[in-house]
Amino acid sequence: MSSAALSIDVPRAEARERGAPRWAWVILPLLVLVVIFFYPLFFIVKQSLAGDAGPLTLAHYATVLSSGVFKAALGRTVEIAALSTVGCLVLGFVLALIVAFVPFPGSRVIGGFIDTILAFPSFLIALSFTFLYGSAGAFNFLLMDLLHTTEPPIDFVYTKWGVILAEVTFYTPFVMRPLLAAFSQLDNALIEVASSLGARPLRIIRQIIFPEAVPALLAGGSLCLLLTLNEFGIVLFIGAKGVITLPMVIYGKAIQEFDYTAGCVVAVVNIALSIALYSLYRFVLARSGGGRAVFV
Amino acid sequence: MEASTSRAKARAGGDGGARDDTPRRLSGIRFENVTVAYGATVALDDFTLDVAPGQVMALLGPSGSGKTTALRAVAGFVEPTRGRIFIGDVDVTDKPPYRRGIGMVVQQYALFPHMRVEDNVAFGLRANRCPRAEIPARVEECLRLVGMASYARRYPLELSGGQQQRVAIARALAIRPQVLLLDEPLSALDAQLRSGMLKEIARLHRELPDVTILYVTHDQIEALTLADRIAVMNDSRLVDVGSAQSLYQQPPSRFTATFVGNANLLPVTVDRWDEREQQAWVRLGDRMLEVMSHMPARPGEARTLCIRPHALALDGQPGCNAIEATVSEVQWRGSAHRLYVDVGGVEMWADSRPLRSPPSRGQRIVLHFLPGDATLLAGASVGAGTTAAAG
């Protein structure tokens, strides 16, 4: 007993003698976190409660949260995030099904391409949408030429649907990746046996594949909802008329109107929403066997 | 009208939607020159085989012999590069799997994990649009058939391997298939469960004599126990086909002799052959032996003699052949003694009943066997004394 204890205690004692205690290793990362994360967060919360120099009060919250601009932005943000997430789930599920179960040449290339999209900054998608479908975009030029018209026939980019489509395009791979991981774990014999029992492809998708994909869909969907809720680049670059989301309000208040307090109030609300959604995401991941669906 | 009825039956998965009083049409399986290739790799080569209706045909062979490919071709999961496959009189080569009306049981059970046992069994019935009111009774009937009626509300994960395999069989039988495909169904079970399931499958076949069964296995015991006929496969080709008994007692080839049961293969020279009695006299060293030979044998021809280890005995009867041998190893196996012996430089083994005083190593003994227990195979023995892996 004593020898075993010694074998553990001696190296620890030596370590204490040789250098800094173990807790010292925490200091540096903690400092970095404090400087780049907690201090700005503290500053934002303080600014939202105290304004520029006043006492701590919830008055700023009452003012901002009751304003029409905030309510409209909150509604629009949730609407766009929800619709984009639904779009990502539907498109991601269909595309992942095709990539995983329909043998075609180049499926591996497609898989690699999905990872590439994940590495892009989101505003690039918005930019490409403008080039392709904008009023002066390639498709409109082509169609105006074909239809002999002076008005661009495609006119959805600068609406909320343009934002939603761009977000669906950018965030769909975030659903596909965990789905493809889940599909790769699915025993092919399940599909074959179901088929031999008389099940057609749609029934197999509905009753065999979909139940197995639910954890991955929940994980990917939660992540999409979280990211689309905070999406700023796509909304800003598309510049859709009347599409004001919470990040846009924060930007407008803090940068354009120099109303830091209002900007911070909206930011705190946005952060609270994000943390709630992130908690949901982690909860779903933990409950649904995250190991099969995790990629973030 | 008749066509539409048969289409309806096909939709229902063979007889899957038929009521009990509906006369069942018996269907066999026919492979006609089926070849399956993946690029340059041939997985099944010019495979022709007839499985009669209601028969149990075992596809027996080592890994990579093409037996599973043949089964998957019947199921519709691999597309033949050449040849046709028939179930009954219907050419199913180009039909999708869900229109073939077959039941299938695979090695790892493949029960749907998110469904209860009863829903697993009902899956095929629902897929075949069996009347909703009939489903519970059909599910219960099938579960009772495999002794799993009391487990209907459980999930697959709550069952043992043997129980899961029973449910998989019930699920396959629920659609009342004309053809049941069993792909190494007992491989994932331990020895004791396997033995029990083997009995269960044999009983099921007795109770469902109309179902044609294609049983893929690499286990000779399973094949010999269950099959009416065995198709021995090797290197993507059919080697031999015949009844379990004939393949065991008169193996047509060296491969079958060693794969269907254990065998001692000895190099012999033909002395003479009696066509009427189907007997041959062959020379092993300086010994003359009388053996069975259904194939013509020319005097002076080098051939291979196949003797099953259990056919060799230490005590002889009148009319027995006798071989002098030197004991090289003695193994006690509880219910038997296994003697490894040397016969003029050729190694053999004999499985004898437990001996009161077994011979010792180096002792000279005489092994006896009846002429009917030894078969003359085609071709000379390659590598004298080649035997199957000891079982």
Last residue of one domain, picked from the residues B197, B226, B249: B249
Question: What is the pLDDT, as a whole number, of residue B390?
Answer: 40
Note whether A287 contacts B: Cβ–Cβ < 8 A: no
* B39 and B165 inside one domain: yes
Q: Contact A197/B172, CB-based, under 8 Å?
A: yes
* B225 and B147 inside one domain: yes
Q: Contact B112/A207, CB-based, under 8 Å?
A: yes
For residue A73, the domain's CATH number is 1.10.3720.10
Confidence band for B20, pLDDT divided at 50, 70 and 90 = very low
Closest CB to A197 among B96, B114, B175: B175
* B185 and B141 inside one domain: yes
**Structural domain that includes position B360:** 262-377
Tens-digit pLDDT profile for residues A66-88: 888 889 999 999 999 999 999 99
Last residue of one domain, picked from the residues A57, A86, A105: A57
Closest CB to A208 among B77, B101, B112: B112
Q: How many independent structural domains does chain A possess? A: 2
Q: Which 8-state DSSP code applies to residue A254?
A: I
Residue B219 CB neighbour total at 10 angstroms: 15
* A8 and A88 inside one domain: no
For residue B52, is pLDDT > 80?
yes
Considering only residues 227 to 246 of chain B, which have any Cβ-Cβ distance to chain A shorter than 8 Å? none
For residue B372, the domain's CATH number is 2.40.50.140
Q: Best of B11, B104, B115 to disrupt the A interface by mutation (most A CBs within 10 Å)?
A: B104
Question: What is the pLDDT, as a whole number, of residue B62?
Answer: 92
Closest CB to B106 among A193, A203, A211: A193
Q: Contact B181/A196, CB-based, under 8 Å?
A: yes
Question: What is the pLDDT, as a whole number, of residue A18?
Answer: 62
* A73 and A108 inside one domain: yes
Entry pTM: 0.77
Note whether A4 contacts B: Cβ–Cβ < 8 A: no
* B305 and B221 inside one domain: no
* A32 and A121 inside one domain: no
Question: What is the pLDDT, as a whole number, of residue A39?
Answer: 87
* B167 and B302 inside one domain: no
Note whether A193 contacts B: Cβ–Cβ < 8 A: yes
Q: Which residues from chain B sit within 8 angstroms of residue A193, using beta carbons?
A: 104, 106, 110, 168, 171
For residue B180, is pLDDT > 80?
yes
Question: What is the pLDDT, as a whole number, of residue A79?
Answer: 93
* B319 and B203 inside one domain: no
Minimal C-alpha gap between B110 and chain A (Å):
5
* A111 and A235 inside one domain: yes
* A95 and A237 inside one domain: yes
Q: How far is CA A242 from CA A137, A248, A249, in A?
A: 21, 11, 12
* A75 and A24 inside one domain: no
* B210 and B288 inside one domain: no
For residue B26, the domain's CATH number is 3.40.50.300
- Look up residue A180 and give its two tokens: 């493809």
Classified as helix, coil or strand, A65 is helix
Say which residues have a Cβ less than 8 Å from residue B202's Cβ, sequence separation at least 6: B225, B226
Tens-digit pLDDT profile for residues A223-278: 899 899 988 888 888 877 778 899 998 988 888 888 888 899 999 998 998 888 88
Question: What is the pLDDT, as a whole number, of residue B74?
Answer: 95
Q: Which residues from chain B sit within 8 angstroms of residue A203, using beta carbons?
A: 127
Rg, chain B, Cα only: 25
Closest CB to A196 among B104, B108, B113: B104
* B244 and B269 inside one domain: no
ipTM above 0.85, yes or no: no
Considering only residues 87 to 116 of chain B, which have any Cβ-Cβ distance to chain A shorter than 8 Å? 96-104, 106, 108, 110, 112-114
Q: What is the average pLDDT across B312-338? A: 88
Say which residues have a Cβ less than 8 Å from residue B206's Cβ, sequence separation at least 6: none
**Structural domain that includes position A44:** 1-57
Alpha helix positions (H), B31-187? 67-75, 117-127, 135-145, 161-174
Question: What is the pLDDT, as a whole number, of residue A142?
Answer: 86
Identify which has the larger pLDDT, B390 or B45.
Answer: B45
Q: Contact A196/B75, CB-based, under 8 Å?
A: yes
- Look up residue B376 and give its two tokens: 């003359």
Q: Contact A196/B108, CB-based, under 8 Å?
A: no
Question: What is the pLDDT, as a whole number, of residue B357?
Answer: 86
Note whether A212 contacts B: Cβ–Cβ < 8 A: yes
**DSSP string over A67-107:** SHHHHHHHHHHHHHHHHHHHHHHHHHHHHHHHHHHS--TTH
* Domain assignment present for B282: yes
Identify which has the larger pLDDT, B44 or A122.
Answer: B44
CA angle B320, B325, B326 (to 5 degrees): 155
Minimal C-alpha gap between A103 and chain B (Å):
13
Tens-digit pLDDT profile for residues A87-96: 999 999 999 9
Q: How many independent structural domains does chain B possess? A: 2
* B285 and B157 inside one domain: no
Note whether B13 contacts A: Cβ–Cβ < 8 A: yes
Closest CB to A196 among B103, B108, B114: B103
Say which residues have a Cβ less than 8 Å from residue A75's Cβ, sequence separation at least 6: none
* A167 and A242 inside one domain: yes
Note whether A199 contacts B: Cβ–Cβ < 8 A: yes
- Report phi then psi at A284, rounded to 5: -60, -45
Considering only residues 168 to 207 of chain B, which have any Cβ-Cβ distance to chain A shorter than 8 Å? 168, 171-172, 175, 181
* A201 and A79 inside one domain: yes
* A125 and A65 inside one domain: yes
Question: What is the pLDDT, as a whole number, of residue B17?
Answer: 42
Q: Best of A101, A197, A207 to disrupt the B interface by mutation (most B CBs within 10 Å)?
A: A197
Question: What is the pLDDT, as a whole number, of residue A12?
Answer: 56
* B276 and B178 inside one domain: no
For residue A64, is pLDDT > 90?
no
Last residue of one domain, picked from the residues B219, B249, B279: B249
Minimal C-alpha gap between A188 and chain B (Å):
9
As a whole number, the mean pLDDT across chain A is 83
Q: Contact A200/B171, CB-based, under 8 Å?
A: no
Give the span between the Cα atoms of A209 and A192, in whole angstroms: 12
Is B117:B152 a contact under the CB 8 Å cutoff?
yes
* A80 and A103 inside one domain: yes
* Domain assignment present for B391: no
Identify which has the larger pLDDT, A290 or A144.
Answer: A144
Q: Contact B110/A207, CB-based, under 8 Å?
A: no
Q: Which residues from chain B sit within 8 angstroms of residue A288, using beta carbons?
A: none
Alpha helix positions (H), A148-230? 160-185, 188-196, 201-204, 210-229
* A82 and A128 inside one domain: yes
* B319 and B212 inside one domain: no
Q: What is the average pLDDT across B271-292? A: 89
Question: What is the pLDDT, as a whole number, of residue A15?
Answer: 52
Rg, chain A, Cα only: 25
Q: How far is CA A142 from CA A135, A149, A157, B16, in A?
A: 11, 11, 16, 56
Is B167:B151 a contact under the CB 8 Å cutoff?
yes
Q: Which residues from chain B sit within 8 angstroms of residue A200, using beta carbons?
A: 98, 127
Last residue of one domain, picked from the residues A9, A38, A57: A57
Q: How far is CA B144 from CA A128, B16, B135, B170, B309, in A?
A: 63, 18, 14, 9, 42
Note whether A197 contacts B: Cβ–Cβ < 8 A: yes
Q: Contact B98/A189, CB-based, under 8 Å?
A: no
Q: For residue B13, give the chain A residue with the closest CA.
A: A198
Lowest mean pLDDT among A174-188, A221-235, A282-296, B130-144: A282-296
* A186 and A237 inside one domain: yes
* B195 and B266 inside one domain: no
Question: What is the pLDDT, as a whole number, of residue A92?
Answer: 94
For residue A158, is pLDDT > 60?
yes
Say which residues have a Cβ less than 8 Å from residue B322's Cβ, sequence separation at least 6: B287, B316, B366, B367, B368
- Look up residue A102 and give its two tokens: 């329909």
For residue B220, is pLDDT > 80?
yes
Q: Contact B123/A197, CB-based, under 8 Å?
A: yes
